[in-house]
Structure formats: C-alpha cells, structure tokens
Amino acid sequence: MSVDGWNTVLVLGGIRSGKSEFAESLVADAPVVRYVATAPEGDPEDTEWATRLATHRARRPGSWTTEETAGEPRRLADVLASAEPNETLLVDDLGGWVTVLLDPEHQPADDVATIAELAEAIRACTARVVLVSPEVGLSLVPTTPLGRAFADALGAANRAVADACDAVVLVLAGQPAWLKPAAVATSAPSTPVAATGRHAVASELGTPGPATPSLGDTEPTPEVQLPEVLTHTPPVAPNQEPGNPWAAPTMALPMVATGLVIQPGMELPMPDEYAGPQAVDRLASLDVPGAGLGVLDRVVGFAAATQGTSTPSAWGSVRVLLLNGDHAGGASAGTVAGESARRAAQARAGRGALARLAAEAGASLQVVDTPAAAPMETQPALAGEQVESALRYGWRLAEQAADAGVQLLVLGACGAGTEAAAAAVLAATAGAEPPSVLGRVITDSGEIDDAAWMVRCAAVRDALHRTRRSPRSAKDVLAELGGGDVAVATGVLLGATARRVPVLLDGPVGLAAGMISRDLAGQARHWCLLADHGQHPAVRLAADVLGLTPLLDLRLDLGEGANALVALPMLRSVLALAAALPVHPSLGGDADPDGTDEPEPDYADDEPAYTGPDYTDPEFVEPEPAGPGPTRTGGDEQPASGWRAG
C-alpha cells in the first residue's frame, strides 16, 4: 500500500468513456512509466482499429517505455511479478488481454486459472499499477456464442482484478466514480478527468489530513501539512517613508500526495546533454568587447541543459527552502541554545540576512521545520519511519514548488549541529576523516572555540565507531547519522530532479544531501549548482566527489542559503546577457545594431575643405605669433606650437 492510500487501481469504463485518459492522468507525474500493451495488432485492413491504436500511442509521453504481451497472455502475470517497487505500470487494457486469451491459438487453456494467476500477481506486486478494463456488465447479453464467451471471461476477470486491487473507479462520460474503498463512494465527490491525477486520487480516496502533524513523531503519518510560503519585500531606505511592513504569507498550497516509494535505483530524468554544450559554444560568437564570461560560462551551460534550450533565460521565480532542525549531543557543541529557532523566526518575520537577501532577489521563502536528531554518538539520529516520512516530505516540498512555477530552488539550513552531521555523512559515504571536514567553531563574539571543535570531532568519531558494522545504504546513513534536515534536503533534491527543477546548493546540509541522493538516484547531482564553497571543508570535499565546481570564491559565511542569494543576481545577469547579446557581425551577426536599415552617413563629404598652411611642406616656416607670446632666447628653443622653425 503506498503513502496516499493505494498501490493498485482498476479503472473501468465503457467504450469512449474516457477511462484510458483517466488512467494516464493517474500516472502522469510518475518519473518513469512502463506501458503494458495487451491488444493485438489486428487485421491490417482494419484502418479504424489501426487509428485507435495510433491515437493511444500518440498520447504516451516520450519518456514512457512500452511492453507488449499480446503474443502470450500469461506473460502479463510475470511482468507484474517482476516489477520493482519504484516502478509504475499502466496496463491497457484487460479487454485486449481477454481477447488474446480466448484466441484459438492459445486454446485449449484454463481461462479461470489464468485469471486467478493474474489476480494473485496483482496482490503480490510491489510496484504501482493502474489497470484499464472495459465494463461489460451494463450491456445486453451477446447473441453469439463467441460474444457470450468474451463477456463471461471479461466479467470474471474484472471481478477477480477488482477484488485484488486496492481501489476501483468507474469512468462514465469522463466522470470518475470511485467504487472501492466503499466509504469513498458516499463521502467523496466525483472529479472530472481534466482535473485528475495523483492529487485527485488522494482526495477521492479520502486521505485524512493531520490534526497536529509533526515530522518528529515516532509514528509515521500519511500526510503532513507543508509550511507556508512567504514573500517578503525589500526594506525601505532610511531616507524614505516607511511603506508596507514585511508581508504576511501570500500563498499556502494544499497538501500534495506523491504516492512514491523512494528507494535506491530510481530512474529520474537527466538534463539535456546537447543544449549545454551548444549554449557554451554560442557564447564564443556573441558581440562582446572582451574575452567573454570566463568561468561563468558554466552557469549558461547548466541553465541551458536544465531548461532544454541553447538560449536559456534568467531564472524568474526562485524559492528559498530554509531547513530548521537541531542535532542533539556533541554535534551542536559551541552553539547557543535556541539560536536556530531564533534564526528561523527571524526569517519568517522577514528579518536577518537570508530573508533580506531573498527579498532583494524577489525570491519566496519557505521555512521548514524538520525532525530533531538524537545524539548520534549514542543512538540513531532518526527512526526508520521518520526517515521515510522526511524523504517524502522533502519530495512534496519540491513538487509544491514545481506546481507553483518555481524555476530555481535555493537550499539552506539553520539548525544546530548541521556541520557535524554533514561531516559524519561524508565520513560514512566518502571515507573522509572527521577532523579534515569539520570547520572551526566560531562563537557569537567572533572567537575560535577549539574545545567545542574537539567535542564535535569526538561525537562524529564515536558515531562512526557505533555504526561501524551497520549497513551503509542511503537510508541507513540518514537514520544513523544524517538526521531530519539532511533527510528532508535529500527528498527535496530527488523531487526537484523528478520535476526538472534545478537546485542552487549552499552549505554542508545541501552537499550532504547530494552525497546521499547519488545512491538513490544518480541523476540528482546533475540538477545541482554550487555557487560558492563558503570556506567549509565539508563542502569542498563533497563538491569534489559530486563533480560540482564552485562558480565563485568569495569566502562568504553569511549562513547556509544566504551565500547563494548573494551570488544569485550575478548569475541572473549572466543569463540575461547571454540571451540578449547578438552574434558578432564578423561571424554573421547583424551589422546594423540599431535596426534602422539606414546607411551610415559619410562624414567626409560634409567636412569643409582645409585652407590653412601645409605643415607637410619641408619649406614651411611657422610665422611669429601676433601679440604677446613666449620669449625666444636662442635658435634651439621650440616654438609654442611644438614645431621647430625651418
């Protein structure tokens, strides 16, 4: 059973009822879909049937894969049995499957046993499966033996599959009516096909909303309300009249149910491998007076690859996710109690470096409270259920941003002990020595606290010793060492990758999440950009492992997330410049930049003829100046004009 209430769904409907479109909408947001086609090709002379098949194929996205079982109907059960938990299958439809099952080529056969095998395979399937089938129970009894055999077999198949599935929906005239679970039939309103999808499925199935949700609960909750999205405005200058105060939340999107099982080996999309190099090559042809953008050409290449075009545009809608979660024990040595909560409240109120920089950049801000981590030196930082919940929570945050049209996510954190947690993750995933990746502890007064640094190193050392025989899978590392903020950040990276939203990383939590995400979906790191390392040794090492080269070396330390916002205006300017500049005229660009198509004036024809003395004549002698002038003392003196007398 998946997180939003169902793992397998049977979609029933009559001819042209919209059942296939509804089924496709249920899996539209899945990263990868395997389409299982059951119908035979049919008579080559039957153009109408061929047109129907072509219409179905044209609706499938290019990222979907297709598998056909028309040659052997019993193979459908094998396909379902071999599906992995992270897969999504769409079987369309059982009517075609029954047609092949009754074909004389496959007889004699025990149809009842084959249908029972299919139902059992559906019950045991760990993947997410949507099956489509025609509903034959509302029509007249066929008049031919073959027609009656088909209706009987399909009716039996529908009953068996409906009993095996978690949910059943009947589509009539494009309107879905949920038949299973039974409580939904009377409590949930119908939803038009145009508005369906995984979100509609959650509401249709009556997924309960939380009363007092908390990611820190030991009991996993099916849904947790996402935090509000804040949009602040820049503060007025001191010499200006005060305007509106820092804005209240401008939007709070509804809960999103992903229905995704996050586990290793997920196949998520990659950036366009051709658009990036094409964009960088195009920069060499632009009409610029100097050598170009230097190392910032990587920004253009990254934006081009993630946007899928060789002329990328500057990121317009940007959202900052500030993760707030403390790490207990020695990881937070040297920090003031309650400091992270104060920073989070400050950001919510629109004060502090992060909120003000976000306001200046026109970025929305979302402060996310994550589960507090237990002392990792003595016990696991999180329970396994909390890790699963945090990963899904982060994925939903990315989905929420993508649904709101966000073009770039900036990941930041303000919890106590984050650097030690990131160092522990790096030590477990990259073999780093804790002292080499733990930065110096700086107190509020600007002093270096070596004693606190040693306590942090000891905490990481003891945590690694405690877990020396524990598995090093992604979820195990998050549970034992990473904590809630790193787990949520990992979910954000995975969800952003699935929705093709680039992420600007800044600080140890984001890079630690990048190290974890590579074991869940290796594609995630290709959607990440690192603006500056911020003098963090953990960030330097993780960036090297992930293949992320910092664009700048400003050595800022304004807090995780704030450093990236300082660089954001420059990155936007680079993209805007690269998109707006024309090609140099010598390389085939427009030689008339003003666009008037008027010939340039010939100023030489308008100049009056020169009638003065000819200074090029070797016989020319400059006359003495009239009136007062410099006194000559000898023949070697130069005249005032600078020319020597002849």
Residues annotated as part of the active site? 560
Nearest CA to 391 among 464, 506, 482, 507?
482
Q: List Cα–Cα distances, 75 to 50, 130, 151, in angstroms.
A: 24, 17, 22
Pair of tokens at residue 407: 């073009």
- Amino acid in position 48: E
Pair of tokens at residue 130: 């949507």
Pair of tokens at residue 363: 């970025």
The secondary element (H helix, E strand) that includes residue 460 is helix 450-466
Pair of tokens at residue 485: 């903020």
Alpha carbons 220 and 83: distance in angstroms, whole number: 26
Question: What angle is formed at CA 382 by the lines to CA 420 and CA 465, rounded to 5 degrees?
Answer: 55
Q: Are 365 and 573 in contact (CB under 8 A)?
A: no
Alpha carbons 179 and 13: distance in angstroms, whole number: 12
Pair of tokens at residue 605: 């024809």
The secondary element (H helix, E strand) that includes residue 234 is none
What is the DSSP track for 210-262? Answer: PSS--TT-SS--S--PPPPBB---PPPPTTS---SPSPPP-B-PPP-------
Pair of tokens at residue 588: 């085939």
Alpha carbons 604 and 574: distance in angstroms, whole number: 40
Cα pseudo-dihedral 473, 475, 479, 482, rounded to 10: 90
Alpha carbons 104 and 123: distance in angstroms, whole number: 29
Alpha carbons 591 and 595: distance in angstroms, whole number: 9
Using the structure block, give the residue that is written with the tokens 């006194």: 631
Q: List Cα–Cα distances, 378 to 73, 280, 381, 480, in angstroms.
A: 55, 50, 9, 10
Pair of tokens at residue 533: 């390392």
Show Cβ contacts of residue 364 under 8 Å, excluding neighbours closer than 6 positions.
229, 230, 231, 250, 317, 318, 319, 320, 358, 406
Alpha carbons 641 and 622: distance in angstroms, whole number: 9
> If you ran DSSP here, which 8-state letter would residue 442 be given?
B
Pair of tokens at residue 507: 């600080």
